[in-house]
Amino acid sequence: MLTWALIFFVVALIAAFFGFGGIAAGAAGIAKILFFIFLVLFIASLILGIVRRPPV
C-alpha cells in the first residue's frame, strides 16, 4: 500500500510539473489517503504483534 501511495505522489509531482493542477491535486489527495491507511494498518499490526506474543 505504501508503494501505491508513492506512485500517486510521483504522478502528482509530474502532473504539477506539466501544469495539470486538478490532476495533481487529485493524485496528491489519493496518495495522502493511502499513506494514512498504510500508517493505521502498520500501527495496528505492531500492536497486535506485541499483544499476541507468547509469554516467555
Tens of pLDDT, residue by residue over 1-56, are 778 888 888 888 888 888 888 888 888 888 889 889 999 999 999 999 888 887 77
pTM of the model: 0.69
6 touches 35 (CB < 8 A): no
Rounded Cα gap, residues 30 and 24, in angstroms: 10
First-to-last alpha carbon distance for the chain, in angstroms, is: 33
Distance of CA 56 to the CA centre of its chain: 35
